[in-house]
Structure 1
Amino acid sequence: MKVAVVVPKYGLVGGAERVVFELTERLALQENMDIHVFANAWRAGLAPVTFHRIPRIAFPRCLRPLAFAFITARMTARQRFDLIHSHERIIDMDVFTMHGIPHRTWVHEARGKRMSLFDLAVDRVERRGITRAKPFMLPVSSLVKDELRRVYSLPEDRLKVIHPGIDQKFFHALERERLRADWGFTENDVVILFVGMNFEIKRLDLAMEALASAMRSRHSARPLLLVAGRGDIKHYKARAEELGISKRVRFAGVVEDMAACYASADAFFMPSRFDTFGLVVLEAMAAGLPVIITDRTGAKDVVVSGREGFVIPVDASASVYAECIGRLMDRDKREEMGSLARTAAAAHSWEGVVSRVVEVYHKVLGVGGK
């Protein structure tokens, strides 16, 4: 089977990019699978993948989505592919893994912004690709699926939720005590990990307010917030000072070895305003951490609130999240939930994801693929 995989950046920084890389590398190792990646830039892995560079239009920005879509269509048309699987909005594809929600919804509801020329271009390509090409849609969560059905009125038989996978071996056999000592954490510190490349969307301010509230209500508890990722650290350090928790918040910056962060922590907290899935949630669970997330996070699909962690309404106050933090101060409760989280994450292996994607390929080709 000759398959074209389309993604702007392959194997580079980013949650969706990492998901595409892990999936495609494994697809390329399947018997009778010939994988061709079309991208602007890439980091090649070890699998037998053929790369095709899509020229990048740097300016004006509003033309980039249109240029990427139309250049990709022209390049893929030059070869005879059995199937085109896109992870980006383009105009001609057979399978579309939707890592986001409809762009207009994202701009208006998640970001609270008005549509720019760039946003209008993205929306135009998305609408044309979904309504005219009529690809088989693979939303990464039920949250994304529901938005797709609401905006585009897609039939159920054109949709299949396939969550990202996880490699649990990545999180085992790490020296937890040494890693915590490297951070300067004590045995009594209950380390709550926050991860995000956009502190505003992930709501680090709310996470810090919840930590401050938890510390006020449980004076004997020693929760500590470990923040990994990218954002205006100076601003959030000042906010921690205002809340009186500056000594209980550590900023790690962008961390390459996230497994070490998970191994150093006792729980995971991400009160995101919106997240189509949140691979870091699944990774934290695989590392045995109970999680606190919102009901606008796609990874809620894999969490039973009160069992592997807590799923809280997105509009809840800091005191509600603080109560969850307080419950996780109990070591026995924390370890019980963490064990259940690890078990739940184990059901989401990459092998299972590959199997489900290949099944979709066969279904599409059986109906009359290219």
Structure 2
Amino acid sequence: MAKRSHKIAVVVPRYGLVGGGERFVYELTERLAADPRFECHVLANRWSDPSGSVAFHKMHRIGFPRFLSTWSFARSVDRFVHDHDFDLVHTHERIFRADLFTMHSIPHPLWVRDVRRKRMSLYDRVLGRIEQQLIYYPGLRRILAVSSLAREKFFDYFPDASPLVQVVHPGIDTHPYERIDREACRREVRSRFGLDRSDTVILFAGMNFHIKGLDFLMAAMAMACAQRPESGLKLLVVGKGNIRKYQNMADGFGISDDVRFAGVWEKGIEQVYLAADLFAMLSRFDTFGLVVLEAMAASLPVVISQTVGARDLVVEGQNGFVVDRTDSAAVAGRIETLLNPDVREPMARNAWATAAACSWEQAAETTACAYEALLNGPDRVDPQIPPRSTHWNEGGNTL
């Protein structure tokens, strides 16, 4: 008699939609669903690009008032899981309880205090409470952090739960970058934005210019341009943000003629990467930064700040540089180093090799091993009957 597949609930608010975290869940889950050991059910509020190998179940989410959004989604998941027979619950979102939690961010109070530098709103307090409830749920047996940086921040805030944490980096598919004609991309994209073939183009990509440190990058670029005015150094900015504000900032730095704003690139982002010479992102904080891995897949050396989780993949001077974002002179020095093709081109090859070693298949297999350990391990706790409650939906969804 054939062994039945394990029934896995994968929890995420949005599946297959734009965003680094959403892409992570999509790529991982599609591969796990193709594994005959698992039957994957996605519990989501919205999804796109559904495949035949994944079953979808719509979870309710209240959009307004905002402080109810996460709570209502968690409540909907709670009820659904209680009524269905899952072998394992893997959540990518803060909910009341699960067996396995992939942590795409840092503890929410730290994010508000240290990154956003704001006071906790009602929404933030509710989210923080749900997060705390999940971390201290007795049935939670494994936490997957997307970087060592995320793990460190988690240890700082939840030291008692630190034995549960292991790091699983996101993956990347290098094939789309290999199938495209790089020279054709350089001609087309550069022509579109008024960039010369001989220009050295820095690519910046991000959906929040402030958090991703575009201001720090502009300050460093201004210094590099002043030091090497003959270099043809240009900055191509892709993504979403207050473009007028940063155009004025570029003007203040004296580099307005050297900066191009491309806006949000809906499709074929690989072409933009292939048109550039190097990638830079000096984020105030980024749990991982999938764009860094995408840049490496396009054979771009990277310059990133110490507060980008993808620093785990950077070998100093081999495939990129990790810098102090506030030291504009030091960042400018690294950019100037990469103006030399004899330095840049070997680093470009090493960057591609780094990306090629980070496949989604590898990430999926590591996650599958975590599934098997939880399903078969002696410390298994049935999430359907938590130790501190007689039913899944009792005592675990109150604030």
State if a TM-score over 0.5 links the two structures. Answer: yes
The amino acid that maps onto 2:125 is L
Aligned pair count?
369
Q: Which amino acid aligns with 2:253?
A: L
SS at match of 2:36: coil
For 1:35-46, list aligned pairs within 5 A: 35-46=40-51
Residue 270 in 1 paired to residue 315 in 2? Answer: no
Partner-residue secondary structure (3-state), 1:227: strand
Q: CA deviation at 1:266?
A: 0.4
Write the deviation string for residues 58-109 of structure 1: whole angstroms up to 9, x where unpaired.
2211111211112211111111100000000001100100000000000000
Q: Which has the higher helix share?
A: 1
- 8 Å CA contact retained: 1:101, 1:276: yes
Provide the rounded CA distance (Å) in 2 between the counterparts of 1:354 and 1:40.
23
Aligned partners of 2:108, 2:11: CA distance in 1, in Å? 18
Paired residue type of 1:174: I
User: Displacement of 1:135 after TM fit?
Assistant: 3.6
Q: 1:229 aligns to what?
A: 239
Q: Which residue in the other structure is 2:310 paired with?
A: 299
The match for 1:48 is: 53
CA distance in structure 2 between the aligned counterparts of 1:348 and 1:173, rounded to whole angstroms = 18
The DSSP-based 3-state class of the residue aligned with 1:81 is coil
1:170 to 2:176 alignment: yes
Question: Where does 1:274-289 land on structure 2 (aligned, <5 Å)?
Answer: 274-289=285-300
Give me the whole-angstrom Cα distance separating, in 2, the residues matched to 1:249 and 1:317: 21
Matched, 1:329 2:339: yes
**Match in the other structure for 1:248:** 258
Distance in 2 between residues matched to 1:59 and 1:290, nearest whole Å = 43
Q: After TM superposition, give the deviation of residue 244 of structure 1 in Å.
A: 1.9
Secondary structure, counterpart of 1:74 in structure 2:
helix
Q: Which range moves more in the overlay, 37-46 or 84-93?
A: 37-46
* 1:288 Cα offset (Å): 0.6
Tell me which amino acid in the other structure corresponds to 2:319: E
Quote the residue 1:192 is aligned against: 202
Q: State which of 342, 362, 365 in structure 2 corresponds to 1:355.
A: 365
CA distance in 1, matches of 2:206, 2:160: 31
CA distance in 1, matches of 2:149, 2:183: 37
The structure 2 residue matched to 1:366, chosen from 376, 388, 391, is 376
**Could you say what secondary structure the match of 1:201 adopts?**
coil
Q: Is the contact made by 2:297 and 2:351 (CA closer than 8 Å) also made in structure 1?
A: yes
Report the secondary structure of 1:353's partner residue: helix
| Residue type at the aligned position of 1:35 | C
Q: 1:308 — aligned with what?
A: 319
Q: 1:155 to 1:57 in 2, by over 3 A?
A: closer
Q: 2:25 aligns with which of 12, 20, 23?
A: 20
Conserved? CA contact 1:171–1:259, under 8 Å: yes
Report if the CA contact (8 A) 2:62-2:69 is conserved: yes
Distance in 2 separating the partners of 1:32 and 1:217: 58
- Among 102, 105, 109, the residue aligned to 2:107: 102
* Displacement after TM superposition at 1:157 (Å): 4.0
Counterpart-to-counterpart distance in 1, 2:168 and 2:321: 22
Contact 1:12/1:43, CA 8 A, preserved across alignment: yes
Q: Which runs of 5+ in 1 are unaligned?
A: none
TM-score (norm 1): 0.97
Residues 1:159 and 2:165 aligned together: yes
Letter in 2 for 1:355: E
CA contact 2:14–2:46 (8 Å) conserved in 1: yes
Contact 2:201 2:234 in 1 (8 A): yes
Which stretch has the larger CA shift, 305-314 or 284-293? Answer: 305-314
Q: What is the CA distance between 1:369 and its match in structure 2?
A: 4.8
Partners of 1:187 and 1:252 in 2: CA distance: 18
Q: Percent identity?
A: 45
Distance in 2 of aligned mates of 1:328 and 1:215: 13
Opposite residue 364 of structure 1, the aligned amino acid is: L
Residue in 2 that maps onto 1:149: 155
Write out per-residue CA displacement over residues 240-295 of structure 1, whole angstroms, 9 at most, x where no aligned residue.
Answer: 12222112111111112210111000000001010000000011011110000011
- Please tell me whether Structure 1 or Structure 2 has the larger radius of gyration of its CA atoms: 2
Task: Tell me which of the two structures has the higher relative contact order, counting C-alpha pairs closer than 8 angstroms and 6 or more residues apart.
Answer: 2
Aligned residue among 184, 206, 216 for 2:226 = 216
4+ residue segments displaced more than 6 Å: none
Separation in 1 of the partners of 2:141 and 2:129? 16
Q: Which residue of 1 aligns with 2:122?
A: 117
SS of the residue 2:230 aligns to:
coil
RMSD of Structure 2 on Structure 1 (CA): 1.2
**CA contact under 8 A between 1:3 and 1:36: conserved in structure 2?**
yes
**Conservation of the 8 A alpha-carbon contact between 2:302 and 2:321:** yes
Contact 1:82 1:369 in 2 (8 A): no
Residues in 2 aligned to 1:147 and 1:93: alpha-carbon distance in whole angstroms:
21
1:84 aligned to 80, 89, 111, which one?
89
Asked if structure 2 preserves the Cα contact closer than 8 Å seen for 1:104 and 1:123, the reply is yes
Name the SS for the 2:321 alignment partner: strand
Residues 118-167 of structure 1: CA deviation (Å, up to 9, x unaligned): 00000000000011243410000001111111211145541110000000
**Structure 2 contact 104–287 (Cα < 8 Å) conserved:** yes
* Amino acid across the alignment from 1:141: S
The answer to whether the aligner puts 1:136 opposite 2:142 as a matched pair is yes
